[in-house]
Structure 1
């Protein structure tokens, strides 16, 4: 274990990972989404893809104490619970795809999912009706599969949430609760499929503190009246992450 810790601390690009996960946490705490969108494209260029997915899931556990308590009281708990349960059920299939698929293909998938989500969010699409249980279930299943296969839990759910008519504070809180709890539930699923390796756990624990510090900072900076500003900041950082994470830079 000490040798593995030393190897991880000597990992080329570790400080880039630490910086990226801090920025990802800050955007997450500020906007309620975007952490994996920022972290995964960059991390997948520095460590094996499956290690990046598992390490990020470990680091995201810090959200239980940095952003979840305040967000918990601002959400439709029944609606969020439906999405969390469905996402957890479908994540196993996504994790199996991650385990058996070509990693280069998955990296391009990350870029494609990230870019598509960004374009949809920037387009400002909205729906006017209240989501049904069936709709929430479908979103949960889709989110879990995509999250398990690519490490990106946010895109499907965030697009669904931001396309609705909820207030900024409610949308942000719903995303925070869903993404935090679903990420936590993915950890044992990864362990069962052999994806939660010791190197990934060690890296995740190293990244836990900077991620938590970033999320706490972002939560402090959040102001409900600054919707256009906080969306613009998140979108810009996500765009930078997409560019930096392109496999063509390898």
Structure 2
């Protein structure tokens, strides 16, 4: 067994990371978003934030196989492509901040952003943008910067997508397609930044099938008519992740 793999399997927090990544996959499978909202508060408590982002980005490769074939055909592809291009342009700036910022403030920022997103979603607050390439480019740029800094690609996109008025399956397809593709694109940028070390790659490989299992189960559970139930379950899981991740309880 390689030494790096042995050290990963001996990591005391591995069981918590596995539980968090499974729940993240489950939520993502039936809601189409929310995986990072679940994983990052917990992951950044156990690992340095930049390594938590890298590990989660590796596990997110699974969504290319479990989610993207189902969601891409149903997505608004032109709008999604504009957002992806903008996110790719702004993510490197966020990654520089992720690598250079002290971990504790980053953890507070992650938990705070997750909590604010949850409050906004539960209260019904929505961010409305116009149609056309310019609003999509603006949205993608904001999501890429925030995602590069905290690993949370979804908050801005979630609030605008919920304001679109699309049916549940269309919103799920748009969100999931954007998040899956941009998450994979994050990996080479993290490698350039030095966050993809040997132990990180092994940890991501160990957690990848756990995440894929969660997304497959979540996708199988998805029923458009049960949207309210899915959201309530997701809200509770996100609240638990935020409470576990707060630096206050170290």
Please give the TM-score of this superposition, normalised by the length of structure 2. Answer: 0.97
Residue 186 (structure 1) aligns with = 186
Matched, 1:232 2:226: no
Task: Report the CA distance shift for 1:219/1:197 in structure 2 as closer, same or farther (over 3 A).
Answer: same
Does the 8 Å contact 1:128/1:165 carry over to 2? no
Instruction: Measure how far apart 1:125 and its partner are.
Output: 2.5
Instruction: Measure how far apart 1:71 and its partner are.
Output: 0.5
Residue 15 (structure 1) aligns with = 15
Question: Unaligned 5+ residue runs, structure 1?
Answer: none
Structural RMSD (CA): 1.3
- Could you tell me how far apart the structure 2 residues matched to 1:27 and 1:132 are? 30
Task: Report the CA distance shift for 1:236/1:89 in structure 2 as closer, same or farther (over 3 A).
Answer: same
Residue 217 (structure 2) aligns with = 217
Does the 8 Å contact 1:127/1:165 carry over to 2? no
Instruction: Measure how far apart 1:132 and its partner are.
Output: 2.6
- Could you tell me how far apart the structure 1 residues matched to 2:158 and 2:87 are? 13
- Could you tell me how far apart the structure 2 residues matched to 1:183 and 1:204 are? 13
Does the 8 Å contact 2:128/2:160 carry over to 1? no
SS of residue in 1 equivalent to 2:74: coil
> Which aligned pairs between 1:96-107 and structure 2 lie closer than 5 A?
96-107=96-107
Question: How many residues matched?
Answer: 250
Instruction: Measure how far apart 1:127 and its partner are.
Output: 6.4
Deviates most, 137-146 or 156-165: 156-165
Residue 247 (structure 1) aligns with = 247
Residue 28 (structure 1) aligns with = 28
> Which aligned pairs between 1:121-132 and structure 2 lie closer than 5 A?
121-126=121-126, 131-132=131-132
Residue 54 (structure 2) aligns with = 54
SS of residue in 1 equivalent to 2:240: helix
Question: Unaligned 5+ residue runs, structure 2?
Answer: none
Deviates most, 237-246 or 118-127: 118-127
SS of residue in 2 equivalent to 1:136: helix
